[in-house]
């Protein structure tokens, strides 16, 4: 998974300008949300593997 710093730098580069505080806060929210969803997805996949092995 990409680090937040990488996402921030990539977005800044693609826009060709510095990000505003609200934009950075939004990107942080999206990044945190994505991390949480990936964590939950991993937990569900672990349960599926366990259940199929039983």
- Angle between helix 4-15 and 21-53 (nearest 10): 130
Q: How far apart are the first and last CA of the chain?
A: 31
pLDDT in tens, 5-35: 999 999 999 999 999 999 999 999 999 999 9
**What is this structure's pTM?**
0.71
Would you list the domain boundaries of the chain? 4-53
Give the Cα separation of 46 and 52 in Å (integer).
10
- Model confidence at 50: pLDDT above 80: no
Compute the Cα dihedral for 14, 15, 18, 20 and give only its sign: negative
**Gap between the Cα atoms of 39 and 11, Å rounded:** 23
């Amino acid at each position: 998974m990409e680090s937040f710093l990488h996402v921030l730098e990539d977005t800044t580069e693609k826009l060709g300008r510095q990000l505003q505080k609200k934009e950075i806060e939004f990107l942080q929210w999206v990044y945190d949300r994505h991390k949480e969803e990936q964590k939950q997805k991993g937990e569900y996949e672990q349960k599926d593997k366990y259940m199929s092995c039983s």
